[in-house]
């Protein structure tokens, strides 16, 4: 008889885990309280980034603290009421902020990031979604020559990681993205990066791939997990689901569920916003305006501007201050007119202190597996995470070494 598994959470990570488990012979139920990809996987910047191998915990991070703690940074903002909840994460973050740990974490990120694009390509090919994928890299743009020069150490690490990039001056930037106003003095073009014109639509195609192969998507809210001899009981608001195995892929909502089961997770939620703008200027690829602290991506709906980090509790009201702060910088860089969304969209990035995802067995329980904590890179890492979790659950050899991502590291 087929083994049954309930994958809880139908964001990009849960969807891809469900697909890969189904292919390896499991009877899969995918559970979410909302339709697939209604949360963070819907509204991100859609970059499948090869160059994002840098953990937040970098040597010298403490020098940024005064600016962050006084809310003077456009890139990071803090709800002071959330400060106490940040401390277990912050303690471990600082333990990771030395050269040795930083380089270890770069290696661990590089291993998984290097496989993101090919896994997306394979899935998009199967669901006729390749038209949504642009394979022309992304640009990190610098306004100040000094900040461009200070990216030298980052460039050195990218070389070591085998990341293909080019340094651009102002003229090359203009010839690549003619719609930009001539305010940028330097750029890094990260080449083997791709992007999509609708992350939500990509997820919907993946959900369709799963359903077409006989997978069940159940809309209900998880309330409690209980292990009853060899079986798991998933208690939801409207039903109870019994299954042999569980995969927790609840993104930013994974922590409270695992805490109920006795795991301590030093994870925080880094909120981020987006707004679409009307623009007659056409961009070929996503851009990161490093000195102004936002990303803009050409999407089906318009020009999507996404913000940096806001540390705030899951339940606090949206405070899209950073969107207001970056808007004049966006207008300086490119022609924009109307806002196209009635309200700013709010998403929640699940962030660990070492910036590595959590993938593997939950060590205190049998047949409980986890796939969460993908931070700023979950859209990229979803498909490879699905493959790794399915390989681990079937005892197959894994595409890469997975020890560095295990839950028991905390
Ligand atoms: C502004 C912004 C820009 C970003 N840009 C990028 C980018 O360019 N590239 C990139 O790779 N990543 C990016 N990210 C990060 C990426 O979006 C996330 O890492 C990723 O979407 C996380 O996916 P997930 O499946 O783990 O979580 P989610 O997509 O958040 O899915 C979790 C699911 O759990 C469900 N859920 C929660 N509680 C319950 C419950 N009790 N019962 C049932 N279901 C429940 C939710 O409804 C949700 O569907 C960005 C994030 C933000 C916020």
Residue among 44, 204, 386 whose CB has most ligand 1 atoms within 8 A, to mutate: 44
The answer, yes or no, to whether any atom of ligand 1 lies below 6 A from the CB of 52, is no
CA distance 385 to 405: 10
Report helix angle 378-393 to 99-113, nearest 10: 80
Residue 315 pLDDT greater than 90, yes or no: no
| Residue entry with tokens 């997990």 | 225
Residue 38 beta carbon below 6 angstroms from any ligand 1 atom: yes
Distances in Å between the Cα of 133 and the Cα atoms of 130, 162, 292, 299 are 5, 22, 27, 11
- Joined together, the tokens standing for residue 133 give 């994928």
Average confidence (pLDDT) over 30-46? 98
Share of the chain above pLDDT 70, in %: 100
Q: Give the mutation target among 8, 11, 381 for probing the ligand 1 site: most ligand atoms within 8 A of CB.
A: 11
Q: What is the model's pLDDT at position 65?
A: 86
Residue 114: per-residue pLDDT = 97
> Is the confidence at residue 64, as pLDDT, over 90?
no
Residue 314 confidence (pLDDT): 78
Q: State pLDDT tens for residues 92-144.
A: 999 999 999 999 999 999 999 999 999 999 999 999 999 999 999 999 999 99
- What is the per-residue pLDDT for 80? 92
Q: Would you place residue 67 in the very low, low, confident or very high pLDDT band (cuts 50, 70, 90)?
A: confident
Ligand 1 contact, 42 CB (< 6 A): no
- Judge contact between 337 and 266, C-beta under 8 A: no
In the reported structure, the alpha carbon of residue 402 is separated from the centroid of ligand 1 by a whole-number distance in angstroms of: 21
- Mean pLDDT of the region 283-293: 97
Q: Can you list the alpha helix ranges (DSSP code H) found in 11-98?
A: 12-23, 40-43, 65-69, 83-95
Can you give the pLDDT at residue 229?
83
Q: Please write the tens of the pLDDT for every residue from 329-369.
A: 999 999 999 999 999 999 999 999 999 999 999 999 999 99
Pocket test for ligand 1, best of 76, 379, 380 (most atoms within 8 A of CB): 379
The predicted model gives 61-69 an average pLDDT of 87
Mean pLDDT value across the chain: 96
pLDDT of residue 1: 78
């Amino acid at each position: 008889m087929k083994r049954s598994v309930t994958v809880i959470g139908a964001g990009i990570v849960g969807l891809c885990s469900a697909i890969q488990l189904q292919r390896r012979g499991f009877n899969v139920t995918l559970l979410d309280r909302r339709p697939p990809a209604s949360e963070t996987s819907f509204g991100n910047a859609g970059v499948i980034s090869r160059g994002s191998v840098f953990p937040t915990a970098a040597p010298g991070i403490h020098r940024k603290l005064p600016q962050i703690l006084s809310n003077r940074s456009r890139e990071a903002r803090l709800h002071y009421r959330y400060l106490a909840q940040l401390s277990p994460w912050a303690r471990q973050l600082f333990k990771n902020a030395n050269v040795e740990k930083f380089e270890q974490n770069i290696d661990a990120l590089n291993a998984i990031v290097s496989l993101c694009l090919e896994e997306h390509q394979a899935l998009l090919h199967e669901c006729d979604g390749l038209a949504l994928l642009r394979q022309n890299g992304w640009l990190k743009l610098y306004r100040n020559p000094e900040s461009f020069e200070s990216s030298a150490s980052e460039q050195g690490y990218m070389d070591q990681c085998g990341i293909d990039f080019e340094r651009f001056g102002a003229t090359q930037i203009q010839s690549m993205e003619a719609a930009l106003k001539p305010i940028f003095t330097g750029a890094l073009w990260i080449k083997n990066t791709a992007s999509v014109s609708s992350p939500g639509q990509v997820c919907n195609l993946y959900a369709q791939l799963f359903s077409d192969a006989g997978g069940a998507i159940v809309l209900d809210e998880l309330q409690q997990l209980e292990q009853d001899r060899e079986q798991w009981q998933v208690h939801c608001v409207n039903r109870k689901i019994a299954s042999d195995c569980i995969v927790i892929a609840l993104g930013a909502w994974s922590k409270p569920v695992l805490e109920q089961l006795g795991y301590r997770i030093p994870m925080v939620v880094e909120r981020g916003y987006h707004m679409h703008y009307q623009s007659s200027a056409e961009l070929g690829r996503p851009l990161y305006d490093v000195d102004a602290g936002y990303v803009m991506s050409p999407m089906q709906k318009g020009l999507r501007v996404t913000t940096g980090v806001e540390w705030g509790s899951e339940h606090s009201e949206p405070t899209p201050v950073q969107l207001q702060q970056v808007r004049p910088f966006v207008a300086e860089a490119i022609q924009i007119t109307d806002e196209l969304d009635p309200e700013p969209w709010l998403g929640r990035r699940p962030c660990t202190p070492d910036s590595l995802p959590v993938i593997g067995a939950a060590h205190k329980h049998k047949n409980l597996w986890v796939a969460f904590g993908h931070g700023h890179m979950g859209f990229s890492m979803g498909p490879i995470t699905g493959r790794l979790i399915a390989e681990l659950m079937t005892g197959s050899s894994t595409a890469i070494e997975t020890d560095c991502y295990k839950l028991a590291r905390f």
